[in-house]
Amino acid sequence: MKIGCCAYSYREALTRGEMSLPDFIRTCAELNLDGVELTGYYFPDTTRATLNNLKRLCFRLGLQVSGVAMRNQFTLPDPEQRKAEVEKVKQWIDIAVALGAPFLRVFADRYPDGVPESTALEWAIECFRQVLPYAEAQGITLALENHGGLTATADKTLRFVHALKSNYFGLLLDCANFPDQHYRQIEMLAPYAVNVHAKTHFRTPQGDYTELDYERIFAILKQAGYRGYLSIEYEYTDPPAQAIPRFARKLLALRERYTG
């Protein structure tokens, strides 16, 4: 397994302009991480020159662009809007190709009020069916994150795996994005994971923070044969500048114990 970090972990600094994506990449190199997941929200633009510069910086610092993350909405009631979202995903597939990233993080989305879940599921699956041939042709895996709504639980998320059955479709397993029974649901999704988001804590339905047990998570992932990235996605209340290096050291030490 490899250890990386999502740009989203530094979202406040990136949004305020206190950090740029090159700054984020250099920070990850200083933390001795293996790769970076570049979150689309923080790109200054997506011109080829900008993408080339980011790719070159990662190469020079010995980091892999482990993946790219975007936001998409496949459950919009208007079919023309859904069509536009499919085209947007295709554009981000091209961006992932330019960066040398193997996967693109996507969402199934929450479903609008008044829309039956079964209808929203049909819309989302049809959108994935429209975009998957393009992903396959470009060699990019679509990584669906369990992220509420249609993917709120492991059972709900697995509906997409069973319906789509593509070598270029997999799951981005977020260890904290479950309402309960986290470790059981991690076990259910781990065999289909192409990337894993590592948060330090999950929030209970009552709003309390509980620390995740990464010794247990490492054991689950190893049992499932997972060999990819654990990408830090920090969302806890401690300052990221102090908490992320501490968490990175913990994950690197656990990696040595379980795979060294």
3-state SS, one letter per residue, for 112-172: CCCCCHHHHHHHHHHHHHHHHHHHHHHCCEEEEECCECCECCHHHHHHHHHHHCCCCEEEE
pLDDT for 205: 80
Q: How many CB atoms lie within 10 A of CB 211?
A: 10
Instruction: Assess if CATH 3.20.20.150 describes domain 2-259.
Output: yes
Q: Helices in the chain by DSSP H: which ranges?
A: 11-16, 21-30, 48-60, 79-99, 117-138, 154-164, 182-189, 214-223, 240-259
Say yes or no to pLDDT of 260 above 70. Answer: no
Whether residue 230 contacts residue 259, with contact meaning beta carbons closer than 8 Å, is answered with: no
Is residue 248 within 8 A of residue 240, CB to CB? The reply is no
Q: Is the pLDDT of residue 75 over 90?
A: yes
Give the C-alpha separation, 65 to 97, whole Å. 11
Look at residue 110 in the predicted model and tell me its pLDDT.
86
State residue 47's pLDDT score.
98
pLDDT for 187 beyond 70? yes
pLDDT at 46: 97
| pLDDT score recorded for residue 83 | 98
pLDDT reported for residue 204: 83
104-154 pLDDT tens trace: 999 998 888 899 999 999 999 999 999 999 999 999 999 999 999 999 999
Average pLDDT over residues 148-174: 96
- Our measurement of the distance from residue 247's CA atom to the centroid of its chain's CA atoms, rounded to an integer in Å, reads 18
Q: Is 65 exposed, middle or buried (0-12, 13-18, 19+ CB in 10 A)?
A: buried
**Full-model pTM:** 0.95
Query: What distance in Å separates the CA atoms of residue 247 and residue 236, rounded to the nearest whole number?
Result: 11
DSSP 8-state assignment for residue 192: G
Which whole number is the average pLDDT over 148-175?
96
Whether residue 199 is predicted with pLDDT greater than 80 in this model: the reply is yes
